[in-house]
Chains A and B, each alone.
Chain A
């Protein structure tokens, strides 16, 4: 038991490091293909292979070591310009990296190297090396250089356990320990781990001594001297860590120290001394967010009280007092809300980073030449949203490579540069984040879409004639809709765009598309910064107050009866030159037919909320517009489950419950009932 536990400590560091290097390798190799002359890039790739080689050999993972070594040699050739950077080379190296990744994951799962056939890739890699050797043999003068290179390889590093004893009257032990670790790092010694953990050291949860595990080329005496050069260090004992000895030693330590050390908190690698960050459980953040939600509700309630107080005159003083307090609570809740939201945010780089590799591989698969540009990857988004948008983005990028960008010959024939360009860009716009996927390819053929929509019976000839191109393009988001004649491995199966839209709308986001024939296509994903709190329009329907997410609202209109028209026997109005069907929200919510029909009594004034979820523009007729407010979304709970048309509930300032209207699914229902 103890043994495996202790191995895990080293294994953890190893796996983490290898994973980091693999990620970096993927990025850098893709980059290398574009800029083969970038020497610092070649160096970085070389170093990654070198590090993987070194650590896998000290962990005893022979095959991983050999593979990394082989690729390191290849990069050495690139460095010396005896091996040229070609797409084939990058391909093979990436396959090698895939194999490393496979091995790493196998080790993570089973603790040992997986049985995997490496022969093919090793052979391919060796082929490239073979080419180099031929070149080298011709240039004998090169040889001394090779020897120099070998001398650069670092001397044998050894691992040491350093036990540091502090003086009995030492004060600020935590900072003292930090200073010791800092001093070691300054002297170029790699600090692998500490016992007790860094966190415990920082908070002075240790006695008069602590252990630091280090890796260095220096001798034990040198290390002892460095540690003892710190004041209030009584003495340092340095022991060389042989693998077995190490396990033995830490097994014994474990017995005494299990109580002190929480294994999950152990920092795997000491990088920059004391870091002032805390890891927080997402659930705890959620709980905090909930509390903030309660505060937001309280604020609304206070505002409500003030409004009521405004009507009576005697309590002027109290009123001012209350107003002041409310303003203050408002400010505090806003700040708190922002802070907690920020704590939940992750940079989009988390997802974006894996795309260059994916786009490159796809491009090579389809025989396309593509420059893939990523912008704004440091834009931040709520972590739960980041998970939700990954699949839609993969889908859009695949589409762009497969359908968007034309093959090079076709592009040349069209007078376009042979290399296509795909841009993935994120930016913040007010309270939302916009992500766009843009290609400069052939664009969407609207005529084809019109024909297909008609063939599938999604529209009538008449309706289609009235539709603008922009509206017609939206059909691509219908399920079962695909204009691609050739079904390929990755796209054109008719599933996809509808799922993209559904995923994005599920998180209160919006998708829309702009396309110009021959020029390219851009997909815009607009996402809220957070899922938990949104701005909503409060409306009264049938005596109850409903919340409509402001993101779906285009405008609020007071439509007079004389400005309405009958089209196809249903009541409509004109909105920005377009026909606006008028629907009673009350009936929509109950799943009834919601259009006004001839013979019905039409009120003189129709309070209308104009909504648009890209598929449909509609006017929702309500009894009264109450106001606009920030609301906290609460789920309806598992008893009620998913109710079409409702996206949750919230509590209003006066304590009443208001249901949140899910416009997208409501209108989808309308299409069903109406059509």
Chain B
């Protein structure tokens, strides 16, 4: 069963790329957000099966957003999108409840593998 996914990234380019990769593989992108705050609001609205979450964003960063979303939905499944060199932040995100992570620059097959594994399909 392909899933309903929300993409969170402050760069429109990144969102576009991810969206392409995901839709090509049969997933449905149900929402996009450009910062953590927006992500938390939209999450409650659309209840996606999975969220891809950028770390560095204006307004509210990805780690805080993970915490906020997890507070509202402990079962939320979130994959962090990290840049090289953000090891410590990824660890923080995992401690906050993120299920997995992918590292930029994205390779389509890695993105799909992570999404598949987290969704359990």
Cα-based distance from A174 to B102 in the complex (angstroms): 13
| Contact across chains for B94 and A178 when beta carbons are under 8 A apart | yes
B82 within 8 A of A: yes
What residues on A are CB-neighbors of B101 within 8 Å?
Answer: 172, 175, 179, 231
Cα-based distance from A179 to B91 in the complex (angstroms): 8
B24 within 8 A of A: no
Of B3-11, B12-20, B62-70, B107-115, the stretch lying at the interface with chain A is B107-115
B28 within 8 A of A: no
What residues on B are CB-neighbors of A228 within 8 Å?
Answer: 117
Interface residues of B in 59-107 (CB under 8 A from A): 82, 84, 87, 90-91, 94-95, 100-103, 107
Give the contacting residue for B82; candidates A172, A230, A232, A274; CB below 8 A: A172
| Contact across chains for B113 and A172 when beta carbons are under 8 A apart | no
Min CB–CB distance A435 → chain B (angstroms): 37
What residues on A are CB-neighbors of B31 within 8 Å?
Answer: none
A273 within 8 A of B: yes
What residues on A are CB-neighbors of B84 within 8 Å?
Answer: 171-172
| Contact across chains for A231 and B118 when beta carbons are under 8 A apart | yes
- How would you classify the secondary structure of chain A's contact residues: helix, strand, loop or mixed? loop
Give the contacting residue for A175; candidates B90, B110, B114; CB below 8 A: B90
Contacts A169-B107, A172-B87; A231 near B102 (Cβ below 8 A): yes
Cα-based distance from A232 to B107 in the complex (angstroms): 12
What residues on B are CB-neighbors of A232 within 8 Å?
Answer: 110, 113-114
Nearest first, the 5 A-B pairs at minimum CB distance are A231-B114, A171-B103, A175-B90, A231-B100, A231-B117
Interface residues of A in 154-207 (CB under 8 A from B): 169, 171-172, 174-175, 178-179, 182
| Contact across chains for A175 and B87 when beta carbons are under 8 A apart | yes
What residues on B are CB-neighbors of A229 within 8 Å?
Answer: 117, 120
| Contact across chains for A182 and B110 when beta carbons are under 8 A apart | no
Contacts A229-B120, A232-B113; A179 near B94 (Cβ below 8 A): yes
Cα-based distance from A246 to B19 in the complex (angstroms): 48
| Contact across chains for A182 and B102 when beta carbons are under 8 A apart | no
What residues on B are CB-neighbors of A172 within 8 Å?
Answer: 82, 84, 87, 90, 101, 103
Cα-based distance from A174 to B90 in the complex (angstroms): 11
Min CB–CB distance A201 → chain B (angstroms): 12
Min CB–CB distance B56 → chain A (angstroms): 16
User: Could you list some 8 contacts between A and B, CB below 8 A?
Assistant: A172-B82, A172-B87, A172-B101, A174-B87, A175-B91, A230-B100, A231-B110, A273-B95
What residues on B are CB-neighbors of A274 within 8 Å?
Answer: 91
| Contact across chains for B87 and A179 when beta carbons are under 8 A apart | no
Cα-based distance from A178 to B113 in the complex (angstroms): 19
**Chain B interface residues (CB < 8 Å from chain A):** 82, 84, 87, 90-91, 94-95, 100-103, 107, 110, 113-114, 117-118, 120
| Contact across chains for B110 and A178 when beta carbons are under 8 A apart | no
Chain A residue with Cβ nearest B112? A231
Chain B residue with Cβ nearest A233? B117
Min CB–CB distance B80 → chain A (angstroms): 10
What residues on B are CB-neighbors of A231 within 8 Å?
Answer: 100-102, 110, 113-114, 117-118
Interface residues of A in 264-295 (CB under 8 A from B): 273-274
Cα-based distance from A230 to B95 in the complex (angstroms): 15
What residues on A are CB-neighbors of B95 within 8 Å?
Answer: 273
Q: A172-B82, A175-B91, A179-B100 are in contact. List 4 more A-B contacts (CB 8 A).
A: A174-B87, A179-B101, A231-B102, A232-B110
What residues on A are CB-neighbors of B110 within 8 Å?
Answer: 169, 231-232
Cα-based distance from A179 to B117 in the complex (angstroms): 13
Min CB–CB distance B50 → chain A (angstroms): 12
User: Quick one: which of B82, B84, B94, B114 has the most chain A CB within 10 A?
Assistant: B94
What residues on A are CB-neighbors of B114 within 8 Å?
Answer: 231-232
| Contact across chains for B91 and A178 when beta carbons are under 8 A apart | yes
Chain A residue with Cβ nearest B103? A171
User: Quick one: which of B87, B95, B117 has the most chain A CB within 10 A?
Assistant: B87
Cα-based distance from A667 to B107 in the complex (angstroms): 79
What residues on B are CB-neighbors of A273 within 8 Å?
Answer: 91, 95
Min CB–CB distance A224 → chain B (angstroms): 14
Cα-based distance from A174 to B103 in the complex (angstroms): 13
Interface residues of A in 205-236 (CB under 8 A from B): 228-232
Cα-based distance from A274 to B113 in the complex (angstroms): 25
Chain B residue with Cβ nearest A179? B94
What residues on A are CB-neighbors of B87 within 8 Å?
Answer: 172, 174-175
Cα-based distance from A230 to B120 in the complex (angstroms): 10
What residues on B are CB-neighbors of A175 within 8 Å?
Answer: 87, 90-91, 94, 101
| Contact across chains for B100 and A182 when beta carbons are under 8 A apart | no
Cα-based distance from A16 to B118 in the complex (angstroms): 37
What residues on A are CB-neighbors of B113 within 8 Å?
Answer: 231-232
Chain A residue with Cβ nearest B113? A231
Min CB–CB distance A40 → chain B (angstroms): 25
What residues on B are CB-neighbors of A230 within 8 Å?
Answer: 100, 117
Cα-based distance from A273 to B91 in the complex (angstroms): 9
Cα-based distance from A169 to B117 in the complex (angstroms): 17
Min CB–CB distance A402 → chain B (angstroms): 51
User: Quick one: which of A171, A172, A231 has the most chain B CB within 10 A?
Assistant: A231
Chain B residue with Cβ nearest A231? B114
Chain A residue with Cβ nearest B115? A231
Chain A residue with Cβ nearest B97? A186
Cα-based distance from A175 to B90 in the complex (angstroms): 7
Min CB–CB distance B75 → chain A (angstroms): 13
Cα-based distance from A174 to B117 in the complex (angstroms): 19
Chain A residue with Cβ nearest B95? A273
Cα-based distance from A458 to B49 in the complex (angstroms): 86
